[in-house]
Amino acid sequence: MSVSIEELIARADAVVSGFGYAPSTLSQYRWAWSQVKLICFQEPDVTELTDEIVASFLQFVAAEHREGRIREWKRKLLRKAVLVLSEVARTGTYTWSVSRAVHPNDGLDAMLRPVQEQFEQWLAGRDLAVATADLYATVSRKVLAWLPERGVTDVRRLCASDVSAAVVFLGESYRPGSTRTVLTALRVLCRFLEESDQCVGLARAVPVAFTRRIRAVSVLSAEDVETLVVSPIPATPTGRRDRAILLVGARTGLRPGDIVGLRLRDIDWRYGQITVTQHKTGTALSLPLLADVGAAIADYLLHDRPHSDDDHVFLRSQAPHVALSSSDLYHVSESALARTNLAPRADMGRGMRVLRASLATRMLEADTPLAVISGALGHRGIDSAKHYLATDEKRMRQCCLDFTGIEPRAVRS
């Protein structure tokens, strides 16, 4: 059933108003929708929003911005407004943050996009964690987008030299510490191409041996961690929330993605337990709900958490009140480090993973077996926890060898 632009705007207004936006924000949306109506519905026979009209409006807005006739904030507002209308027209509602104008694969060559889509379907049939499959798809997409620059638009013409060149290309985009993972992703892509009879012998062209820089894990002392977690001011709009987030990270060692994914039902208050399905591994992890962590979360839930249908524990303080992102947690930890003047070294991260590494280090210092540390941090295997051994300087010194039996020869005069 067709819906007039006036009725569509009224529906969109009702949906967006439900997000709890400030009156000024709602006024901006209403102005932007009036511009969509003014620009796109001048002809009497044009009465409803179509994909063609949306695309035309987006092109018009982009051109106005390029010519300097509208500013960046207005371009973003007009773009978001018409995408909201488009989604309401299709679904009858709008899901905040779902405003991507293009699909991630839209930038691929017409000959290569089907290959990427087939690869993603192939990955879905493997027993891979969601995060791993997403990473493999991202590396594949990056390589396929680069191939036309090398003059390759048909994967059936790929050869070993192309794969070697792809290794060099990827090396320019990823840090040395990510080399092994990136090479694995490239090898998986080559294996898919071989299994689908599009190429032969490509996987062997991906190097097995590689050199990467090993960087020691950066950690904070126990005293610095305590200073960090109490730094947020409860009287501020996000103080209780940020303190609870920092305590969860410091006491449980959960990954940032698992902290933002934490839901109300994951906390068992009666038995004092937190149970999450890890985003990276897809496995369940149960951890004790320590007293100070539980108290901080409860303080946030009772006093500062916005009223919302979203059941995530930690929400945005501003409308729309939805779950935080991992980048939001990075801002929380970075702000806490700046607030406490704990200026980390240049090579030290400023995200929540510093707290995760610091927890592992404290456990090592307390003679906790590596297998227990690995289990508490939600690793699939003990090898994932071994790099924390480098932070235990006291025991690492015990591993040093002297020069007995290998004394240097006398220097000739």
CATH number of the CATH domain containing 31? 1.10.150
What mean pLDDT comes out for the span 226-241? 90
Residue 269 has pLDDT above 50, yes or no: yes
The DSSP letter of residue 106 is G
What mean pLDDT comes out for the span 365-389? 70
Residue range 62-96, pLDDT digits in tens: 888 888 888 889 999 999 999 999 999 888 888 76
Residue 374 has pLDDT above 90, yes or no: no
Identify whether residues 123 and 227 lie together within a single domain.
no
Percent of the chain whose pLDDT exceeds 90: 33
Range in 5-9, 95-99, 264-268 with the lowest mean pLDDT = 95-99
Q: What global pTM score does this model have?
A: 0.62
Residues with Cβ within 8 Å of 239's Cβ and at least 6 positions away in sequence, in order, are: 232, 233, 304
What mean pLDDT comes out for the span 159-164? 90
Identify whether residues 245 and 276 lie together within a single domain.
yes
The confidence score (pLDDT) of residue 188 equals: 93
Identify whether residues 37 and 132 lie together within a single domain.
no
What tokens appear for 55 in the block?
């695309």
Report the number of distinct structural domains present in the chain: 3
CATH assignment of the domain containing 322:
1.10.443.10
Residue 235 has pLDDT above 80, yes or no: yes
Q: Residue 382 falls within a domain, yes or no?
A: no
The model's confidence at residue 385, banded by pLDDT at 50, 70 and 90, is low
Identify whether residues 171 and 114 lie together within a single domain.
yes
Domain range for 31 is: 5-91
What mean pLDDT comes out for the span 115-134? 88
What mean pLDDT comes out for the span 207-219? 61
Range in 47-51, 169-173, 379-383 with the lowest mean pLDDT = 379-383
What tokens appear for 198 in the block?
């599009």
The confidence score (pLDDT) of residue 211 equals: 52
Amino acid at position 33, single letter: W
Q: Residue 366 falls within a domain, yes or no?
A: no
Return the top range by mean pLDDT from 1-5, 96-100, 186-190. Answer: 186-190
- Chain-wide mean pLDDT for the chain? 84
Residue range 321-358, pLDDT digits in tens: 888 988 888 889 888 888 888 755 555 566 788 888 88
Residues with Cβ within 8 Å of 381's Cβ and at least 6 positions away in sequence, in order, are: 374
Residue 384 has pLDDT above 80, yes or no: no
Q: Please, are residues 199 and 119 in contact by the beta-carbon 8 Å criterion?
A: no
